[in-house]
Structure 1
Amino acid sequence: MSQPNESPRRAAQRAINAFPHWPVYLVGALPGLWTFWLAVSDQLGADPVKTLEHMLGLWALRFLIASLTVTPLRRIGGPNLVRFRRALGLLAFFYACAHLLTWIALDRGPDLAAILGDIVKRPYITLGMATFAILVPLAWTSNARAIKRMGAGAWQRLHRWVYLAAILAIAHYLLSLKSWTLEPLAYAAAVTALLLFRVFSSPRGNRRPTPAESG
């Protein structure tokens, strides 16, 4: 129920703040479930494993970009979606896990030597593994308990590594393609714009993260 004389913007924000987290996870899982269904029903083309691997990685990148848009959106006067940033980040991590497991289990097989060889010799795989290595501690500490245990300053410093993860992720994506179309260039432009916003936007002090920001 809206308050007397409450502005539409404030009422909309109050509705956002009351919205639960679970629908974000549910809706976020749907593209992955649909992609797996297409895979098992043999609807992913001539190379279904590569297509499955590509689509899962692409959704990881999309959710990573979405999580990075939360702060710029708030700072330019848009809705404050900070309470959903953890969900978006975790969805990016879950899709990255699925992307990696698909590559290991279905593409490369159980050949550990071949997997390690690819990581060392193929730059885009090296970048992908580096991205995943950064996402693991970020996902592990994306909760209020981690903020309390680590302290706000240390937690913030750790989670700034998400920007490096975004750079590595877009480089991994671009190098994995045989040719660049408008879509990958659009993702690269989005990551570049978000990084520039981070560098040039005015900080608002060392504000302590809240439980809502970490989920």
Structure 2
Amino acid sequence: MWLRINNAWIAISIGCLLPLFGLLLDIVTDNLGSNPIQAIHIRLGDWSLRFLCLTLAITPIQTMTKWRGMADYRQMLGLYAFFYATLHVLGYLFVDHAGEWRVIGVDIIESSYIWFGVIAYVIVLSLAVTSPKSAKKRMGKNWKKLHRLIYYAAGAAVIHYFWQLKGNLFQPLFYLTIIAFLLGFRVLVWLKNRQLAKLMVPKGRSISLEEND
């Protein structure tokens, strides 16, 4: 199985599905405002980006709290980021454009912000497909290299969000700040570990002329 199922996993999983239930309720009750299709797009995209940020936040939290058991929840949050991103893409393809592939192709070519959305989704899809332990074993060191692309996915998603909005840019800037902070934390930890590694390397003993005689 991909994840170990326990009570905490079930509770968190239910919490992760609440945004979808809330969206479905608003659809049923016609509570999405004057442009419901746009509202669906934004809310699904928002939650995908939020789960990406939560996934990235697991490592700093784990580092500060020393609670190693959070790794399973990082994987789960990443899968929910993929889940909401997939709904976001399906909404664009079949709700917004009704599966009209010619129109979709023209829209992608003419709208550069969609390119960044495609980049973000391809990365998230790759991470989801390779999330099982069996894939991790097969890929070896390449698994970590691939999964570090999550920062690129988050960055591309923010640009995708930023370029499609008109007017209030508070939310994409807010997400950008969070991602920059989380990336900065990772860089600081890397620099600290590098310094510690240098200190632990034994220095060669200098040999005097007397010892050579």
Same amino acid, percent of matched pairs:
35
Give TM-score scaled by structure 2 length. Answer: 0.82
1:119 and 1:129 in contact (8 A); partners too? no
- The answer to whether 1:120 aligns with 2:109 is yes
Counterpart-to-counterpart distance in 2, 1:183 and 1:132: 20
> In the comparison of the two structures, how many residue pairs are matched?
188
Letter in 1 for 2:126: P
1:185 corresponds, among 173, 185, 189, to 173
Counterpart-to-counterpart distance in 2, 1:25 and 1:19: 10
Runs (4+) of structure 1 exceeding 6 A deviation are none
2:55 and 2:78 in contact (8 A); partners too? yes
Structure 1 equivalent of residue 85 of structure 2: 96
Letter in 2 for 1:111: E
- The answer to whether 1:33 aligns with 2:36 is no
Counterpart-to-counterpart distance in 2, 1:79 and 1:178: 41
- The answer to whether 1:147 aligns with 2:136 is yes
Counterpart-to-counterpart distance in 1, 2:65 and 2:16: 25
Q: Give the structure with higher Rg (CA).
A: 2
Counterpart-to-counterpart distance in 1, 2:151 and 2:46: 17
1:104 and 1:110 in contact (8 A); partners too? yes
Q: Equivalent residue of 1:46, what SS? A: coil
* Aligned-pair Cα RMSD in Å: 2.0
**What is the deviation of 1:165?**
0.4
2:162 and 2:169 in contact (8 A); partners too? no
Q: Which runs of 5+ in 1 are unaligned?
A: 1-17, 206-215
Counterpart-to-counterpart distance in 2, 1:72 and 1:155: 20
Give TM-score scaled by structure 1 length. Answer: 0.81
Q: Which runs of 5+ in 2 are unaligned?
A: 1-5, 195-213
Letter in 1 for 2:97: R
- The answer to whether 1:163 aligns with 2:147 is no
